[in-house]
Amino acid sequence: MRPILGLLALACFASACGSDAVTTAPSTVTSPAVETFSGVLSGGRAWRVITVKTAGVMSLTLTEGGSPSTPIGFGLGVPGGTSTCILSFALVSGGSTSPQITERVDVGDYCAEVHDLRGPNASPITFSLSIEHP
């Protein structure tokens, strides 16, 4: 009887040691960051730096400002020192609820610029740019 009990104990121990279960850490899903860049232009331009900490997709949506009769230019680029934004992608548009510029980005600093196309003596125009990035 003792040999049978020993074999049963060995069988139970061996089956527990041969487990194929894999334990993984829970994954964390992070939402993209959404920043709002807004202000007033009077024939000039305004820009801001966006720091991307994870590669992914960046989207720009001009949510307020411009119209068919007074469009606003805006774009995405990289900072050119402390006083300029070197645009890689740009367009002229009025406000929208859908992203107007969507580009893949790597980790690093980028800039979004909004510029008034009407000249230096234009009347003030309000703008709001939604920036979604990883």
- Which domains are present in the chain? 32-133 (2.60.120.380)
Of 88, 70, 68, which is closest to residue 78 (Cα–Cα)? 88
Of 20, 24, 23, 48, which is closest to residue 36 (Cα–Cα)? 48
Percentage above 70 pLDDT, the chain: 74
Residue type present at position 133: H
For 5-17, what is the mean pLDDT?
A: 44
Mean pLDDT estimate for the chain: 81
> For the chain, give me the number of helices (H) and strands (E)?
1, 8
8 Å CB contact between 37 and 131 = yes
Q: What is the DSSP string of 52-69?
A: ESS-EEEEEEEEES--SS
Task: Give the burial class of 56: count Cβ atoms within 10 A of its Cβ; 0-12 exposed, 13-18 middle, 19 or more buried.
Answer: middle
Residue 86: φ, ψ to 5°? -90, 105
Which residues, in sequence order, are bridge partners of residue 126?
40
Asked whether the predicted pLDDT for residue 1 surpasses 80, the reply is: no
Asked whether the predicted pLDDT for residue 19 surpasses 50, the reply is: no
For 118-127, what is the mean pLDDT?
A: 86
What pTM, to 2 d.p., does this model score?
Answer: 0.72
CA end-to-end span of the chain, whole Å? 66
Residue of higher predicted confidence among 107 and 71: 107
pLDDT, one tens digit per residue, over 32-61 is 899 999 999 888 899 999 999 999 999 999
Q: What is the CA radius of gyration of the chain?
A: 28
Asked whether the predicted pLDDT for residue 92 surpasses 60, the reply is: yes
